[in-house]
């Protein structure tokens, strides 16, 4: 079976990128499986994910062969399945401090540049004129005030990373079993009919979400007619060593720090955000059955190819030993019977400390 897949996937730093400046990847996918009900999320002038039938205008598009399946892809099973530790909230606080501290440093340098004109202003003249000697070098007075503030976000991040590493080691020394839950899945919703959590795990709530994972690097290179080793497609980096941990880096999109420091373990314990996702409301009731509704706008069901990986998963939020955890597991959502069109592709920050969850 043949179908057309079109995608303009957001790069890591998509907030500072004009989608119109990036080309749309368009391919004809040949597969032995039946394609899903056509859907389009986004627009041709913005970020886009589209899967549809072939028209007469598509004859010149590149052709690729790809498996089309509803079975969760292996890289998603490795990176989005199991218990995950929530990053320390101090990461988000430290990142918010970066801009004001940099502006403060720039302002202090500006004051030093115009120091001669500030000679008659009592406080400013005292700050900008004169130095303190440390060893053989002299340092401006104002630097002793602004520089410690400038490095404050770095110090906070170091402290937050140390706490994250400690939490990961606590989990590694006593890993949790998966919860025992029974799910009934309908079109765009799921119901927890039975749930049993491990000992000492306190339930906070549950939700389901749909998202689109990063396209496969090899296929993106093939669709752009670029051999490995040449310039990668927009939004992707050059190939990185296989020993790297995160899912994005695994697919050649490791162009930024998506999670805080991760401990070397059989799998990563810090959940990497999905750049494209829409979620349902958090249900805090612990009395089964628990109805979990999907996103407000109707999304397509589960479907995977090497270009478009439309992924559904359930999130259970909990606490354990004073830390916030999240259990994530893929779910197979049935396909809709009617075509779906969503005007805007919902995006979230690519860094876990910036993504609001």
Q: Write out the chain's pLDDT in tens, 357 residues.
A: 899 999 999 988 888 889 988 889 999 999 888 889 999 999 999 999 999 999 888 888 989 888 899 999 988 998 899 999 999 999 999 999 999 999 988 888 887 777 777 767 777 776 777 777 777 877 777 777 888 899 999 999 999 999 999 999 999 999 999 999 999 999 999 999 999 999 999 999 999 999 999 888 888 888 878 877 777 777 777 776 654 444 444 454 555 577 888 887 888 899 988 999 999 999 999 999 999 999 999 999 999 999 999 999 999 999 999 999 999 999 999 999 899 999 999 998 888 877 666
With a CB cutoff of 8 Å and minimum separation 6, the contacts of 322 are none
Rounded Cα distance, 47 and 6, in Å: 10
Name which of 196, 204, 201, 224 is nearest 23 in CA terms: 224
Terminal CA-CA length for the chain: 38
In the β-sheet with 189-196, what is the strand arrangement from edge to edge?
180-186, 189-196, 290-293
Domain range list for the chain: 2-91+163-342, 92-162
Q: What are the CB-based long-range contacts (under 8 Å, 24+) for 243-251?
A: 246/79, 246/272, 247/75, 247/76, 247/78, 247/79, 247/80, 247/213, 247/214, 247/272, 248/12, 248/214, 248/272, 248/350, 250/75, 250/79, 251/75, 251/214, 251/215, 251/216, 251/217
Rounded Cα distance, 257 and 293, in Å: 31
pTM score, whole prediction: 0.86
**3-class state of residue 86 by DSSP:** coil
Per the DSSP assignment, residues forming a β-bridge with 302 are: none
Asked if 173 and 125 count as a contact pair (C-beta separation under 8 A), the reply is: no
């Amino acid at each position: 079976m043949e179908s057309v897949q079109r995608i303009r996937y957001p790069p890591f730093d998509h907030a500072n990128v004009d989608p119109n400046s990036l080309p749309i990847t368009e391919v004809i996918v040949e597969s032995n499986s039946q394609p899903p009900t056509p859907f389009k999320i986004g627009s041709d002038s913005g970020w886009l994910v589209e899967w549809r039938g072939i028209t007469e205008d598509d004859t010149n598009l590149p052709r690729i062969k790809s498996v089309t399946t509803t079975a969760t892809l292996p890289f998603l099973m490795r990176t989005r399945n199991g218990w995950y530790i929530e990053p320390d909230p101090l990461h988000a606080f430290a990142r918010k401090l970066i801009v004001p501290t940099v502006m403060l440093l720039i302002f202090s340098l500006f004051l030093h540049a115009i120091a001669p004109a500030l000679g008659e202003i009592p406080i400013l003249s005292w700050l900008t004129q004169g130095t303190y000697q440390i060893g053989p070098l002299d340092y401006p007075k104002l630097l002793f005030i602004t520089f410690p503030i400038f490095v404050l976000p770095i110090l906070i991040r170091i402290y937050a990373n140390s706490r994250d590493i400690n939490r990961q080691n606590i989990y590694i020394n006593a890993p949790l079993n998966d919860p025992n839950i029974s799910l009934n899945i309908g079109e765009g919703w799921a119901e927890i009919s039975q749930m049993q959590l491990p000992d000492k795990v306190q339930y906070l709530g549950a939700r389901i979400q749909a998202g689109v994972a990063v396209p496969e690097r090899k296929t993106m290179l093939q669709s752009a007619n670029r051999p490995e080793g040449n310039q990668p497609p927009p939004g992707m980096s050059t190939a990185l060593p296989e020993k790297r941990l995160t899912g994005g880096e695994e697919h050649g999109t490791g162009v930024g720090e998506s999670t805080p420091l991760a401990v070397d373990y059989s799998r990563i314990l810090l959940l990497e955000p999905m750049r494209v996702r829409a979620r349902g409301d958090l249900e805090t009731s612990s009395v089964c059955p628990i109805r979990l509704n999907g996103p407000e706008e109707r999304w397509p069901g589960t479907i995977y190819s090497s270009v478009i990986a439309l992924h559904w998963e359930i999130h259970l939020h909990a606490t354990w030993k004073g830390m916030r955890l999240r259990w994530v597991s893929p779910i197979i959502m049935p396909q809709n019977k009617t075509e779906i069109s969503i005007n805007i592709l919902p995006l979230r920050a690519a860094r876990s400390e910036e993504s609001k969850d």
